[in-house]
Structure 1
Amino acid sequence: MPLQVPKYCDLPVKPDAPPGSAWGVFDKDGTRDVYGTLNFITSEAVVAAKEEIQIGESVVLNLPFHLPHVPCGAEIRKKSTHHVLTKNFGMYCLDDEVSFNTQSSSQWDGLLHYAHQERQEFYNGVKYADVAETQTDVTLGVQAWCDRGGIVGRGLLLDFVRYAAKHNIAYDALTNYAITLAQIKDMIADAKLEIRQGDILMIRSGLSKWIRSSTPENGDPWVGNKHIGVDATAELVEWVWDQNLAAVAGDAVAFEACPCPDGSFMRLHQAALAGWGMPIGELFDLEKLAEVCEREGRWSFFVTVCPLNVTGGVATMCNTLAIL
């Protein structure tokens, strides 16, 4: 049976919580919830999602480890590195060492990535200072996703590249083109999709295609700091919650356009991560998945995510599979 939760217009349920937040919605028996919208993925939802596996074909949604060639915010975020250790222990035996910032390639934003900026609090009231300064509260770290068995459920792909071509929409994936709520609804109707509680919604903007074709000399998608994504209007934020989605993801830098046409910045990040405990996937490689979905004529699939099991982890490498 689906979980019964308030509509967005009835949030918050706690009088001291930020407007539009779901703080307290998923608490049980006086215990503060740490899973947020992943609570929508019930065991019944997982069992139902298995019906999406029809041809036995799986697609990895991680970009190659070294892409994009220039990390977003390279002045802070280091480029991923890979070093091979040779002739270990005097034998012909290899080890390798990898180093990366979880934001430098395909990844899921965890619930400690973005706080409510005015309140300086993460989902369900976890204080920024308790995480970043004293490190006395790591309950929202990505290890919590591992504790619940990872993320497994039904995924949906909305292919804006295909939609734009069909409707003669000219746009550039390296700008802050904003995909509107009306376009999202059109894509859902065009793909004959019905959103179910606990679904993971993915949107292909075409940025992953550009990243894959880029070179080290011409591989910086961050010039101008304008990024494609959804138009995070107040109406879109309300719609996302009211669909009871478990998570959202895309091949864009931040899922939402930065900045949005109204000048807002990271509105959906604050609403989803800090407000509802909803994971946001970014820089996914959606090229192969779009190809398979179009070939098969269906846009839903089974999804598995195995997060990095890092206590207090802020984000995790994507580690996501779509299985059709």
Structure 2
Amino acid sequence: MAGDIPSYKSLPIRSDAPTGSAWGVFDKDGVRDVYGTLNFITRKAVVAAREEIQTGESVVLNLPLDEPSDPCPGRRPMKHEVYSRVHGMVCSDDDLHLNTQSSSQWDGLLHYANQSLEKYYNGVDYVDAIESRTDQSLGIQALSERGGVAARGVLLDFVRYAGKHSIDYDVFSNFPISLDHIKEMITDQGLRICPGDILIIRTGLSKGIRESDPRVKGFWDRGTHIGVDPTPELIEWIWDQNLAAVASDAVAFECIPASDNSRMRLHEACLAGFGMPIGELFDLEALAALAEKNQRWSFFLTVCPLNVRGGVATIANTMAIF
């Protein structure tokens, strides 16, 4: 597929599309695409990805649904109720009430729109999708309709890289992971990036969350978060690699604010521009340990999203297999 895909510098291909967007790239036979960069995961790519399964070891990349215990303001923490002796029998039911983005999550394509146009990926109007709910084509159910996600995953371990190169940083700050860092990690870990890969970057934040580091409490109030630095060069690189998705243990994948003091540029570029899902607040400690043990930072990755028509996001439900 890569040979048929325009480079970032050739985008957009539609006159009504914002700069650097992939609107129309994956449309076929007059049908508007709803899968975005997941189209890079071809059947051939899935079959090739199975070669990553060598030891049979697996690890789940989800934080417990009640962590962080203090989620982003406006997002209610999970509420779990267990009912005993239901249906007149010695059995039980339980209810979960949660915001799909309060813990490990995949941002779907209805999460973040192009802010000036008020349109989502491929020109879907915000009013139609969210306010009138007349167009639910980009809802999170689309991921289930395409069969979920099965792909090759690659882990770039910034914790490992920073230790090796004596880089001192705070996971509770807005430390920017640069494109140069990313390229050096790829070289250092002996990785190659393939079309359809899902790129995962470990910052170390999930360790702090799981250990209930005192700094977790109230760290939202500071409004500064670690992540990749969403420079124009980084956004161009992400598209030109033909990545299917990106994810991290960071709050937003991108650092907030960016090095130029902008905010959420990568969300707009990836979600609204490319149709690329973004994974956030993943638990990457066990994955990093397994990768280090095997000295192999690529693996088979599966995602089984919530099947909610018109849904904005899904809990992560993500697993890596070595």
Same fold (TM over 0.5): yes
Q: How many residue pairs were aligned?
A: 322
Given that residues 3 and 40 in structure 1 are in contact (C-alpha distance below 8 angstroms), is that contact kept between their aligned partners in structure 2?
A: no
Change in 2 beyond 3 A, CA 1:159/1:215? closer
> Which residue in 2 is equivalent to 1:291?
289
Counterpart pick for 2:186 among 164, 185, 188: 188
Partner Cα distance (2:88, 2:156) in 1: 52
Please report how far the alpha carbon of residue 219 of structure 1 lies from its aligned counterpart in structure 2 after TM superposition.
3.4
Given that residues 209 and 216 in structure 2 are in contact (C-alpha distance below 8 angstroms), is that contact kept between their aligned partners in structure 1?
A: no
> Which residue in 2 is equivalent to 1:6?
6
Partner Cα distance (2:213, 2:94) in 1: 24
Please report how far the alpha carbon of residue 260 of structure 1 lies from its aligned counterpart in structure 2 after TM superposition.
0.5
Given that residues 69 and 216 in structure 1 are in contact (C-alpha distance below 8 angstroms), is that contact kept between their aligned partners in structure 2?
A: no
Q: Counterparts in 2 of 1:120-269, with a 5 A limit? A: 120-214=118-212, 219-269=217-267
TM-score relative to the length of structure 2: 0.98
CA displacement, residues 197-249 of structure 1 (integer Å, 9 cap, x when unaligned): 00000000000000001169963431301000000001000000000000000
Given that residues 57 and 323 in structure 1 are in contact (C-alpha distance below 8 angstroms), is that contact kept between their aligned partners in structure 2?
A: yes
1:29 matched to 2:29? The reply is: yes
Please report how far the alpha carbon of residue 160 of structure 1 lies from its aligned counterpart in structure 2 after TM superposition.
0.4
**Matched residue of 2:96: which SS?**
strand
**Matched residue of 1:248: which SS?**
strand
Partner Cα distance (1:224, 1:3) in 2: 44
Q: Counterparts in 2 of 1:4-153, with a 5 A limit? A: 4-73=4-73, 76-153=74-151
**Matched residue of 2:219: which SS?**
coil
Partner Cα distance (2:77, 2:66) in 1: 8
**Matched residue of 2:320: which SS?**
strand
Structure 2: runs of 5 or more not aligned: none
**Matched residue of 1:269: which SS?**
helix
Give the letter for the 1:167 counterpart: H
CA displacement, residues 82-120 of structure 1 (integer Å, 9 cap, x when unaligned): 110011022211101011101100000000000000000
Partner Cα distance (1:215, 1:115) in 2: 33
Partner Cα distance (1:5, 1:172) in 2: 38
Given that residues 62 and 319 in structure 1 are in contact (C-alpha distance below 8 angstroms), is that contact kept between their aligned partners in structure 2?
A: yes
TM-score relative to the length of structure 1: 0.98
Partner Cα distance (1:313, 1:188) in 2: 34
Given that residues 105 and 282 in structure 2 are in contact (C-alpha distance below 8 angstroms), is that contact kept between their aligned partners in structure 1?
A: yes
Partner Cα distance (1:36, 1:17) in 2: 14
Partner Cα distance (1:215, 1:301) in 2: 29
Partner Cα distance (2:280, 2:8) in 1: 24
Partner Cα distance (1:314, 1:285) in 2: 21
Change in 2 beyond 3 A, CA 1:26/1:134? same
**Matched residue of 1:162: which SS?**
helix
Partner Cα distance (1:219, 1:159) in 2: 25
Runs of 4+ deviating beyond 6 Å: none
Give the letter for the 2:181 counterpart: Q
Give the letter for the 2:69 counterpart: H
Given that residues 83 and 92 in structure 2 are in contact (C-alpha distance below 8 angstroms), is that contact kept between their aligned partners in structure 1?
A: yes
Given that residues 151 and 301 in structure 2 are in contact (C-alpha distance below 8 angstroms), is that contact kept between their aligned partners in structure 1?
A: yes
Given that residues 2 and 242 in structure 2 are in contact (C-alpha distance below 8 angstroms), is that contact kept between their aligned partners in structure 1?
A: no
**Matched residue of 1:25: which SS?**
coil
* Percent pairwise identity: 63
**Matched residue of 1:222: which SS?**
helix
> Which residue in 2 is equivalent to 1:315?
313
Partner Cα distance (1:175, 1:109) in 2: 22
Give the letter for the 1:16 counterpart: D
Partner Cα distance (1:31, 1:84) in 2: 45
CA displacement, residues 11-49 of structure 1 (integer Å, 9 cap, x when unaligned): 000111100000000000000000000000000000000
Partner Cα distance (1:283, 1:237) in 2: 20
Partner Cα distance (2:23, 2:65) in 1: 35
Please report how far the alpha carbon of residue 128 of structure 1 lies from its aligned counterpart in structure 2 after TM superposition.
0.2
Change in 2 beyond 3 A, CA 1:216/1:67? farther
Change in 2 beyond 3 A, CA 1:170/1:217? closer
